[in-house]
Amino acid sequence: MCVSMYSAVWSREETTERNYYTRYHNMSEITAWMEQMKRENPDVVSSMVYGQTYERRNITLLKIGLSSTVRKKAIWMDCGIHAREWIAPAFCQYFVREILRTYKTDTKVNEMMKNLDFYITPVLNVDGYIYSWHNESTRLWRKSRSPGTGGCTCYGTDLNRNFYANWGMVGVSTDCCSETYCGTKALSESEAWAVTDMLGKMREDILAFLTIHSYSQLILVPYGHPNISAPNYDELMEVGLGAAKAIKAVHGMDYTVGTSPDVLYANSGSSRDFARLIGIPLSFTFELRDKGEHGFELPEDQIQPTCEEAYAGAQHIITYTHDKAFYSYAATVTATLWTTLLAAWVSSAILL
């Protein structure tokens, strides 16, 4: 009887689970979901609070990977830096579920889980996200929820203009009522500081940085300033175009690839630019569906197809990153090993 009760509970979870990833979830639900991911996958999932929002809420990431005795390389993904882009946290949840669902059976995902740790922040701008759930009139909130200063009475700084990456130079406003207000100074916002702090600690280990937004169907490469080119621009474009091709193969959707000043608008102080500046070689912004018909209010029946295609795009980038790091590395190690053995054999042959 105990066995049948257990399986009844299990199948109810599974049934709701199939619907869970096709709906938007508020912050309490996402927090509870993070706990559930840890509980259900204790050997591969742990969480880390790495900062606080203005309103003193925890900023939490999930660290996902097979445990290892040696230090591992990492992939960073954050969602929900802009509150109204609800499809982004939905994608982070989907991504986590997908790698947990497939790592035991899919050899490639398993290999990546073995060699890499995924650091995934489902909601970065927690205050803003909660505010956007408050009522219909707050749904289109974008920024953080810190108060204005110096006589300016509006709330919020655009977190994606607040990073220490050509801060304040272009595509920003110094009016605290503006949607692209860059803050009183770089890293004035604790949320931006939290990410900066983590990336700084991990910078030698992070191979790729993905930040998820909506809408416009774009894959953006550094930098946001029109006069500055990333040293590996060609590589970034190649990998980005590969990701766009993978996306298109899923549901036929076109995602345009390029620098922000080329395909969208110039901007400074973005997290993507900061990541590239501190040396993370592959740094991308994903702008998910759609192209303006629904905009930020993407219907729930599009969550699944959007996540499926974005997953394919992200996996293209992650696979490239992984293979570049581990196949080259393996070749070097193997060559060294065999050369050593050969030398030893040759010298022993001579001596005999």
| Contact pick of 178, 184, 188, 304 for other proteins (by CB under 8 A) | 178
Q: Go through 265-304 and write b for each residue having 16 or more CB atoms within 10 A of its CB, e for each that does not.
A: ebbbbbbbbbbbbbebbbbbbbbbbbeeeeebebeeebbe
Give which of 176, 218, 191, 225 is closest to 83, Cα–Cα. 191
Task: Work out whether 308 is an interface residue with other proteins (CB under 8 A).
Answer: no
- Among the listed ranges 60-68, 107-115, 149-157, 277-285, the one in contact with other proteins (CB under 8 A) is 149-157
Give the span between the Cα atoms of 325 and 110, in whole angstroms. Answer: 16
Q: Convert residues 50-89 into a mask of x (bound to other proteins by CB under 8 A) and - (unbound).
A: -----x------------------------------x---
Name the β-bridge partners of 284: 210
| Cβ atoms of 128 and 156 closer than 8 Å | yes
Pick 188 or 216: Cβ nearer other proteins: 216
CA distance 210 to 78: 7
134 is a site residue for other proteins (CB under 8 A): yes
Q: Could you say which of 287, 300, 308, 309 is catalytic? A: 287
Sign of CA dihedral 333, 339, 343, 349: positive
User: CB 48 → other proteins: shortest distance, Å?
Assistant: 22
Q: How far is CA 91 from CA 1, 123, 130, 305, in A?
A: 38, 11, 17, 10
* 155 interacts with other proteins by CB under 8 A: yes
- Could you say whether residue 133 binds other proteins (CB under 8 A)? yes
Contact string (CB under 8 A) for other proteins, positions 188-227, x = contact: ----------------------------x---------xx
Under rule CB under 8 A, residue 102 binds other proteins: no
Exactly one of 135, 348, 350, 351 binds other proteins (CB under 8 A); that residue is 135
With CB under 8 A as the contact rule, the residue among 88, 93, 118, 145 that binds other proteins is 145
Is 321 within 8 Å of 208 (Cβ atoms)?
Answer: yes
Within residues 1-30, the interface with other proteins by CB under 8 A covers 23-24, 26-28
Q: How does DSSP classify residue 150?
A: T
| 309 is a catalytic site residue | no
Tell me the three state secondary structure of residue 340.
Answer: helix
CB 98 within 8 A of CB 309: no
Of 63 and 133, which has the nearer Cβ to other proteins? Answer: 133
User: Of 13, 35, 40, 175, which one interacts with other proteins (CB under 8 A)?
Assistant: 175
Scan residues 333-352 and list those touching other proteins (CB under 8 A).
Answer: 334-335, 338-339, 341-342, 345, 349
Rg of the chain (C-alpha set): 22
Q: Which structure tokens are listed for 351?
A: 């001596």
Site membership for other proteins, residue 295 (CB under 8 A): yes
Binding footprint of other proteins, residue count (CB under 8 A): 81
Residues acting as catalytic residues? 287
